[in-house]
Amino acid sequence: MRVRTRWTAGFMAAAVALTLTACGSDSEDADSSHLDTLPPAAAAQSPTGTAKPVGTVVPQAAAQKIAVSGTTTAVLGTDGRTVTLHATPGGTDGAAPRPVGLPIDGVVDLVAVDDHFLAVGPKGLVRIDADGRATLTEVPIDSPLSLAVDGDKILVGTEKGKLLVLSTTGERLHEYGGYARVDDVLVAPDSASEVSGQVSVLDRAQSAVLPIDIDNGDRKASLRAGNGATNAVVDRFGRILVTGTRDNEIYAFFGEPIIMRLRHPTPASPFALAYDEKQNLLWVSSTAENEAVAYDLSRGDARERGRVATVGQVTAMAVDPASGRLLIASGRGDGLQAVAPDAIKP
């Protein structure tokens, strides 16, 4: 049975989401002890013996992050010291995955930047080229959690509730505190004409989305995202799409100031997200059921388009913009899954 989408307009967002306020600061001593927090939500343990994953599965050690640049997919291992490069996974070239040992330990996040990848760990930033060369820029970072790039600025979130703004050479430009933790940093793309360049933080301990001006630290009006938000992506319109893992929901926020535009129920334990720009689909993984569900966002609501069986314990997903393949990484070593775009029919 289909469940009805729950909408919120501007006035309703105030009723269902707590507005948060805080002050930006370059101070090392920004206080976050006053914040109302809750234990960060965690994905359910995936069952075994479920349906065979759709598409192609190639060998891959337990993974925590995934990114796509050109024809190369990079997967960051849970060991925090290995990135595996896959040439067109799910394709027919037959190239073997290439493990790349990183020059530092404790790497926690990975993003695609033009023709290469960028990763972050406690000793700095690592550039990984498609040929496997890894180069370290030393920058001491206390307890890094997340990474994003905004033009010529590199944004690093930490478990200590800091948002660091770095130059491409690793120079520390700003440091903003006052968060409980910075689990994800979202940057609206140039295609998001109304909110282009908007930067927001996802804080799992506050279960909140918190926009910030990274040039001066000015905090904008912020909103709670249920009671257990875990991951987020930004679509081409600048909508911030969030999984509510504890509440089995997804949320969409948009605007300046942001308001909640969408709240929709999902299968149990939604966790990883991927956005398909060409088809305007949001993919949401369910670790409790080993499924990924595609939601059509073209009308502004969330309409289910289909489901595919996945590898177990999905930790990260991405859509290859060139081929349209959905790429799914397993946190327990079940492999890297590639799902062709025609797996979901209009």
Using CA atoms, how far apart are residues 204 and 240, in angstroms rounded to an integer?
15
Ramachandran quadrant class, 124 (left: phi over 0; alpha: psi -120 to 50; beta: rest) = left
Find, among 248, 318, 254, 311, the residue nearest to 283 by Cα: 318
Q: Which amino acid is at 66?
A: I
Contacts of 226-230 spanning 24+ positions with Cβ under 8 A? 226/251, 226/263, 227/38, 227/41, 228/38, 228/40, 228/41, 228/204, 229/41, 229/202, 229/204, 230/40, 230/41, 230/42, 230/43, 230/183, 230/204, 230/271
Report whether 183 contacts 160 (CB < 8 A): no
Under-50 pLDDT residues of the chain = 1-23, 28-29
pTM of the full structure? 0.91
Task: Let me know if residue 2 belongs to a domain.
Answer: no
- The CATH number of the domain holding residue 198 is 2.130.10.10
CA pair distance 234, 252, nearest whole angstrom = 9
Domain count, the chain: 1
What is the predicted pLDDT for the residue at 34?
83
5 assigned to some structural domain: no
Q: Determine, yes or no, domain membership for 178.
A: yes
Q: Quick one: pLDDT at residue 58?
A: 95
| Within a domain: 253 | yes
Q: Is residue 328 part of a domain?
A: yes
Give domain status of residue 306, yes or no: yes
Amino acid 25: pLDDT:
57
For the chain, how big is the Rg over CA atoms in Å?
Answer: 19
Domain that holds residue 291: 10-26+37-343
Q: Is residue 68 part of a domain?
A: yes
pLDDT at site 31: 64
Which residues have a Cβ under 8 Å from the Cβ of 115 and sit 6 or more positions away? 69, 70, 129, 130
User: In this structure, how many other beta carbons lie within 10 angstroms of the beta carbon of residue 192?
Assistant: 18
- In the chain, the amino acid numbered 209 is V
Calculate the alpha carbon distances from 326 to 55, 72, 153, 155, 286 in Å.
9, 13, 28, 26, 15
Q: What is the pLDDT of residue 343?
A: 85
Residue 31 lies in a domain: no
